[in-house]
Amino acid sequence: MSVAGASAERPLLAVRNLTKLFGTFAACNGIDLDIQPGEIHALLGENGAGKSTLVKMLFGVLAPTSGQISWRGEAVSIASPSAARKLGIGMVFQHFSLFEALTVAENIALSLDGTIPLARVAERAAELSRAYGLPLDPKAHVADLSVGERQRIEIVRALLQNPQLIILDEPTSVLTPQEADRLFETLFKLRAEGRSVLYISHRLEEVQRICDRATVLRHGKVTGACDPKKETAASLARMMVGADVPHVSAAGTSTKGDVLLEARHLDMPARTPFAVSLKDVSLKVHAGEVLAIAGVAGNGQSELFDALSGEYTVADQNAVLIRQRPVGQQGITARRLLGAGFVPEERHGHAAVTGMSLSDNLVLARNQSDRKAFLGGGVLGIIKYVAVRLASRRISEAMDVRKSGDDPTAGSLSGGNLQKYIVGRELDRQPAVLIVNQPTWGVDAGAASRIRQALVDLAKSGSAVLVISQDLDEIFEVATEVAVISEGRLSDIYPASALSREKIGLLMGGLQGQPEALTEAAHAH
């Protein structure tokens, strides 16, 4: 730690005014960041706050639009990951870039320069993994390893370069608590050697436990730089989600309508080792309401969407009700026929077939629910292209979809425009129930507000809308009711006006059921 004291004036890495534009959308906007030698520095922020974009620029994966990066006091331009490695920056990605068909030693060898013979790589890797408490068998095939073991390979791979700065992108999101504890010990060892760690996370408790300093990002901008140990979870959450609460638009009508969508003690076991199981989820959405489900990614949102939409059915027929009819065992088409509409999270390949035209995509989604309008010829099911084209044009106009040509392929549209089309495709049916997962994920601000307005309008016209989102701004803009999902459990449903961002932030960070944390949040408010 003496290293840190000696050179505290000259940071290891200094970032000034770094900006990255994607089109007109600023993923990072004038970021300043200093990392001192021998510190564990947290980069905090919600999903989409620009954390990943920032570190990709630091690691040479993305080129910054403008701004300056200095390494040990000298201005550098990091053109590629190998340039970053040469400087002494190592990175452990959230999604591992490992080769499943190769062995652990071979995977490690690939990221080294050619000077070390292949046979020696296994030895060095074994030495390092022992020294840092990262047990690994160099001869094992990656295909046979667990996620935690795969992460260890990535860390050893980064360490073999002898880096001064190691960037970890959401390292604990895939780990068990025990594996996470083990990882923290490795990080402390690295810090004791005078190396720096840039630790990206949205888990407040973790950051407070292990990090010396924190930089908080929100909407591509730095909203705070602090010592997380001196902050409360509530103050960190406020920096993360923003203190400027916009006025909640009164989306719904004041009188509650009938319950149109309901889940009763919905349980769904996890389908894969990495999926989340839903535990006893109960919710009710009345006509005229927008219920927003907040939560950190990977806490059961996609599983909840699957269960409610019927992509995966559940054993209990009465666990899901649409317009008061039990549909738990019914598939997606049956639920659509009851007047429900669904917009899944993934635009490309899930909500739309990218290689097919918009009108073809329209027929794919609505060929059962709008059978009479779109299909003719009785059992033959001949597509009435004139009717489909007209409907497609109507949707494009209603949602202001900018596209080249009358009926281009879905893949040729920008993300925002395709999302507008997909949402519009459901809205066009005036569904009684609409379930949307991440309606504005990766969508530019203009398209996002258009989509949100459409959701609010739908609720106003008497439908029940359920929005699953990680964007608190969005939630406060559209929701009349809010619930938070964490580890497959849904919190109580609160009226949106009765919830503070801090409280949602804390519920999201997994502090649910810890009353003192919530009281603390209330005090900070």
Examine residue 221 and tell whether it contacts other proteins (CB under 8 A): no
User: Beta-carbon neighbour count of residue 33 at 10 Å?
Assistant: 20
Q: Which stretch binds other proteins (CB under 8 A): 26-34, 69-77, 92-100, 212-220?
A: 92-100
Counting contacts by CB under 8 A, is residue 81 touching other proteins?
yes
Q: Could you tell me the smallest distance in angstroms from the CB atom of residue 160 to other proteins? A: 13
- Residues numbered 117-146 forming contacts with other proteins, rule: CB under 8 A: 118, 141, 143-144
| From 17, 82, 146, 519, residue interacting with other proteins (rule: CB under 8 A) | 82
Task: Tell me if 107 sits within 8 A of 141, measured CB to CB.
Answer: no
Selected from 75, 99, 368, 461, the binder of other proteins by CB under 8 A is: 99
Among positions 6, 8, 110, 131, the unique one binding other proteins when judged by CB under 8 A:
110
Tokens of 133: 């408490």
C-alpha to C-alpha distance for 522 and 192, rounded to whole angstroms: 37
How many CA atoms lie within 13 Å of 450's alpha carbon, on the beta-carbon side? 22
In this complex, which beta carbon is closest to other proteins, that of residue 169 or of residue 473? Answer: 169
In the complex, what is the shortest distance from the CB of residue 105 to other proteins, in angstroms, rounded to a whole number? 10
Q: Minimum CB separation from other proteins for residue 97, in Å? A: 4
Binding mask 305-344 for other proteins (x = CB under 8 A): ----------------------------------------
Does 17 interact with other proteins (rule: CB under 8 A)? no
- CA-nearest of 520, 503, 501 to 245 is 501
Among positions 21, 47, 106, 126, the unique one binding other proteins when judged by CB under 8 A: 106
**Spatial distance between the Cα atoms of 303 and 122, rounded to a whole number of angstroms:** 40
Q: Which is nearer to other proteins, 171 or 228 (CB)?
A: 171
Residues from 32 through 71 that contact other proteins (CB under 8 A): 61-63
3-state secondary structure of 72: coil
d(CA 255, CA 290): 13
Retrieve residue 510's tokens: 């997994």
DSSP 259-272: EEEEEEEEEE--SS
The CA distance from 50 to 32, in Å, is: 13
Q: Which two tokens stand for residue 283?
A: 């919710």
CB of 114 to other proteins, least distance (A): 6
Residue from the set 100, 127, 227, 492 that interacts with other proteins by CB under 8 A: 100
DSSP 359-413: HHHHHHHHTTTTHHHHEESGGG-EE-HHHHHHHHHHHHHHHT---SSSS-BGGGS
The residues of the shown chain that bind other proteins, judged by CB under 8 A, are 61-63, 80-82, 97-102, 106, 109-111, 114, 118, 141, 143-144
